[in-house]
Structure 1
Amino acid sequence: MHQWLNGHLPKESARPLILEALSRRFNRPITSSEAGFPPSPEQAKQSAGTVDGLLDLGREDMDPSRRSVLGAGLFSVALTIPGWRDVVGRIDAIRIDPQRRIGQPEVQAVTAMTERLSDLDDDFGGRYARPMAAAFLVNTVAPYLNANSSSETRKSMLSAASFLCYLTGWMAVDEGAHGRAQQYYLKSLELAGASGDHMTYGHVLRGMSVQAANLGHGTPAVRLANAAAEASRDSSPRIRAFMAGQQAHSYALAGEKTHALNSLRETERAVNQAESQLGTFGGFRSATLAYSTSEVRYASGDTKGSIESLHDHFRLRDSTDMQRSKLIFSSLLAERQLQVGHLEAACATWNTVLEEYPAIHSGRIDGQVARIASLLSSYRSNPVARQTSERSRELCPK
């Protein structure tokens, strides 16, 4: 830093950290030019066309040697999110290749492949699925976006590509590549706007709020959750619950307890109004409501209440719920059980996680398992705690 103040540019690898620190200090985005830096590769990516920027992102994920660890992992609380008016209609700016033509079968293929990738992500974690998703984006979907087609097919393909891009960003979050995830999310918003797809646009904003909330950034999480709810205000009760539940969690993290409780009540009303989860976007139901309630209670300081709600969540889960979320939520339950002094209950919960952990390749679960030994370090005299700690060390990635 002192070299920078003396007129020498900091190393390129350090500049994103400096810009993020300045942005957090002034609570607004600070650009490279404002800080006196030349444009960064990430800014060049953002200014590139939607398809070109998506190709750059995907190619980096396909080739691990090209990944920037710092840039990939750095989450920005001051990221500028494009509004609907900023992204709608960008379909006109996409170059069309007259030699290639696509129809609804190609759209259906992208949708089906996205569902398969989502299943792999749910069952095995983002580390396995993300390179495949990136390769599919680069080698198949991007050329489809440039292909000649009817207006209806083009919008459908843009919408399908938007959700695949969002899913790839979700996988990046799971791996801990938070900066990379934000880049995918921004491209997904552009594609959703280009296709006129309000539903996916709101879904992506909600995903960005979940990311911010899981990292403990309450105020940005509220901003994103509210934007998602605004984009989805004319939707079904299930979707209103999907959005309001995230608003409740975000408000609680930001210390706005009254708003959090109001949003939680709105979530409950919407769940009760929803007749069936079949065919709905987001699948928000009673088990999800119990999890949202747990997060609101925990963020509000009610750890015991949070544990009760997590138990409700597991009681209401069914066989269609994803394996990864089961292990993530079980790990949260164990940590909270330990916080209220229920050592043996915590160890029992952790042991259910460790039983299934080897089959999951998730950065978030890796981090949760890596914490077990340190959380139990004060209880080494207890044989159950000692056995659980040693087991976690054996399974934890080196």
Structure 2
Amino acid sequence: MAAQNLSLALLIDEARWTNGEVARAVNRVGTELGLSLRYDDSAVCHWLTGTVPRKRVHDAILEAFSRRLSRPITPKEVGLGGTLGSPANAPDTVAELIELGGVDMDPSRRAILGAAGLYSAAALIPGFPDAIERFASYRRNPRMKIGHAEVDAVVAMTVRISEIDDMFGGRHARPMAAAFIVNTIAPYLKEDGPEDVRKAMLSAAADHCYLTGYMAMDERADGLAQRYYTKALELAGGAEDHLTYCTTLRGMSVQAVDLGHSARSLQLADAAATASPQAGPRMRAFLAGQQAHAAAQSGDKPMALRRMREAEAAMDQAESRAKTFGSYDPSSLHYHIAQVRYSLGDVAGSVEAMQESDRLREPVYRRTRVRYGAMLAERKLQVGRLEEACADWERMLDDYQHVQSGRCDDRYRSMMSAIRPHMRNQHVRNLYERARPLAPA
């Protein structure tokens, strides 16, 4: 029978897939969504002849083709029009924030997010001018007014939640952040006020969304984090806040490199640097360090080393001042040096840089100590320094039991896997016996 869905047929041809390969790709993405899919080539044949797949697999189909073709795929391109993905008239940013935060603020309802758990390497990024235009025509309630006091309240709440996140991880703090979006930030965004106050509120809201997205990423809810980051970009654009816009792009680059999407990470890091032509030295170091990490993971050694030198030079120029939310300090710089060296094959040099990063790190960053301390131990083990690695892991466990973090749980599991072949060593046995009761649920 001839294909009735010619758009899907053309897309399959462009992807150079067989029907069976389409089915297997959709099944793999479905697994990431928590779906147990068993599609085969006959299912794709049905789609081609006009059968509409179940709604819950729509995002899996879009993402499978997006990954294969390295570009965003729209519902129209798949040939199922308005039945797939988001509706043509998508809700505005504030409405989307309410919907997103309303589910995320209640851990018992997070399963409803479903496809929010799916990270898309081909997701569209809202441009800075587009976001400005989007908020320029946003309708506000002239009967309700906001002032600087409301902006200060949002900023203060974001700082407090950030401090809790640094010390204890985001598992408990994120519902609080989401509730604050729904109950406080979203209503403020609907209210009127002087233009400078409006922009300050959009900027404060963008910072808060960025933090909430970071906590979602820390919990390995990467698709959800991506959605929060996208809202932060839109809000920062509306505020004409280049700093927060670039910081968010850089955070998205960090997420991409952590997930192994090296090329996408480099694109996002480069976009952040391009969008911030007036950046001061600390911000330049912040961006160049991430560009170096992404380039190194992509295998571009000359670019990685050049960007790393730029980051070091910019950090030398940066003023010594109090740390602020989202800041970049010498400890962070040495972490990037370690990541670049490791990606380029210099494990011993990476260990040296991570030790310096640890020495310079402020004590408040407990979760960072857990993650990077465990990473340091893993690399020491790679170069044969087993007993030193055990000592580092012991220090990691001192903090681990106080932190609620998905990424810290990942480091715990990596430790248990790494030490298993060395159980004859007394230090390893002691570490194992101590760590075993701390296993994450």
Q: How does 1:176-187 map to 2 (within 5 A)?
A: 176-187=220-231
Q: How does 1:128-167 map to 2 (within 5 A)?
A: 128-167=172-211
Shift of 1:394: 1.4
Quote the residue 2:357 is aligned against: 313
1:235 aligned counterpart, secondary structure: coil
Q: Is 1:91 paired with 2:135?
A: yes
Quote the residue 2:260 is aligned against: 216
Q: 1:365 to 1:100 in 2, by over 3 A?
A: same
Question: Contact 1:277–1:284 (CA<8 Å) still a contact in 2?
Answer: no
Shift of 1:33: 2.9
Quote the residue 1:276 is aligned against: 320
Q: 1:280 to 1:377 in 2, by over 3 A?
A: closer
Quote the residue 2:218 is aligned against: 174
Question: Contact 2:369–2:399 (CA<8 Å) still a contact in 1?
Answer: no
For residues 59 and 306 of structure 2, what CA distance do their matches in structure 1 show? 38
1:43 aligned counterpart, secondary structure: coil
Q: Is 1:285 paired with 2:325?
A: no
Quote the residue 1:59 is aligned against: 102
Shift of 1:214: 1.2
Q: 1:130 to 1:383 in 2, by over 3 A?
A: same
Larger radius of gyration: 2
Question: Contact 1:239–1:282 (CA<8 Å) still a contact in 2?
Answer: no
Q: 1:363 to 1:214 in 2, by over 3 A?
A: same
> Which one-letter code corresponds to 1:183 in the other structure?
R
Aligned-pair identity (%) = 48
Q: Is 1:6 paired with 2:46?
A: yes
Quote the residue 1:75 is aligned against: 119
Any idea what the Cα deviations from partners look like across 1:133-192, whole Å, max 9, x if unmatched? 000000011000001211111111111111101111011000111001111111111111
> Which one-letter code corresponds to 2:387 in the other structure?
E
Between the two structures, name the one with larger relative contact order (CA 8 Å, sep ≥ 6).
1
Question: Contact 1:277–1:285 (CA<8 Å) still a contact in 2?
Answer: no
Q: Which runs of 4+ in 1 moved over 6 A?
A: none
Any idea what the Cα deviations from partners look like across 1:311-365, whole Å, max 9, x if unmatched? 111122233x511111111011111111222221111111111122111011100
Quote the residue 2:395 is aligned against: 352
For residues 131 and 356 of structure 1, what CA distance do their matches in structure 2 show? 22
For residues 280 and 325 of structure 2, what CA distance do their matches in structure 1 show? 9
2:151 aligned counterpart, secondary structure: helix
Quote the residue 1:378 is aligned against: 421
Quote the residue 1:258 is aligned against: 302
Equivalent of 1:194, from 238, 252, 256?
Answer: 238
Q: Which runs of 5+ in 2 are unaligned?
A: 1-22, 24-40
For residues 269 and 297 of structure 1, what CA distance do their matches in structure 2 show? 18
Quote the residue 2:66 is aligned against: 23
2:401 aligned counterpart, secondary structure: helix
Quote the residue 1:338 is aligned against: 381
For residues 125 and 274 of structure 2, what CA distance do their matches in structure 1 show? 14
Shift of 1:40: 7.4
Q: 1:286 to 1:65 in 2, by over 3 A?
A: closer
For residues 276 and 243 of structure 1, what CA distance do their matches in structure 2 show? 18
For residues 276 and 285 of structure 2, what CA distance do their matches in structure 1 show? 11
1:98 aligned counterpart, secondary structure: strand
For residues 328 and 304 of structure 1, what CA distance do their matches in structure 2 show? 18
> Which one-letter code corresponds to 1:263 in the other structure?
R
Question: Contact 2:366–2:399 (CA<8 Å) still a contact in 1?
Answer: no
Q: State the aligned residue count.
A: 397
Q: 1:346 to 1:4 in 2, by over 3 A?
A: same
Greater shift in the superposed pair: 149-158 or 273-282: 273-282
Greater shift in the superposed pair: 117-126 or 61-70: 61-70
For residues 55 and 375 of structure 2, what CA distance do their matches in structure 1 show? 37
Shift of 1:215: 1.2
Shift of 1:34: 2.0
2:104 aligned counterpart, secondary structure: helix
For residues 84 and 288 of structure 1, what CA distance do their matches in structure 2 show? 27
For residues 293 and 75 of structure 1, what CA distance do their matches in structure 2 show? 27
Q: 1:154 to 1:13 in 2, by over 3 A?
A: same
For residues 426 and 89 of structure 2, what CA distance do their matches in structure 1 show? 54
> Which one-letter code corresponds to 2:414 in the other structure?
R
Quote the residue 2:370 is aligned against: 327
Shift of 1:38: 5.7
> Which one-letter code corresponds to 1:92 in the other structure?
A
For residues 260 and 83 of structure 2, what CA distance do their matches in structure 1 show? 27
Shift of 1:263: 0.3
Question: Contact 1:373–1:390 (CA<8 Å) still a contact in 2?
Answer: no
TM-score of the two chains, using structure 2 as the length reference: 0.86
For residues 138 and 344 of structure 1, what CA distance do their matches in structure 2 show? 49
Aligned CA RMSD, in angstroms, stands at: 1.9
Question: Contact 1:172–1:180 (CA<8 Å) still a contact in 2?
Answer: yes
Greater shift in the superposed pair: 32-41 or 229-238: 32-41
TM-score of the two chains, using structure 1 as the length reference: 0.95
Shift of 1:37: 4.3
> Which one-letter code corresponds to 1:144 in the other structure?
Y
Quote the residue 2:170 is aligned against: 126
Q: 1:312 to 1:87 in 2, by over 3 A?
A: same
Equivalent of 2:149, from 105, 114, 120?
Answer: 105
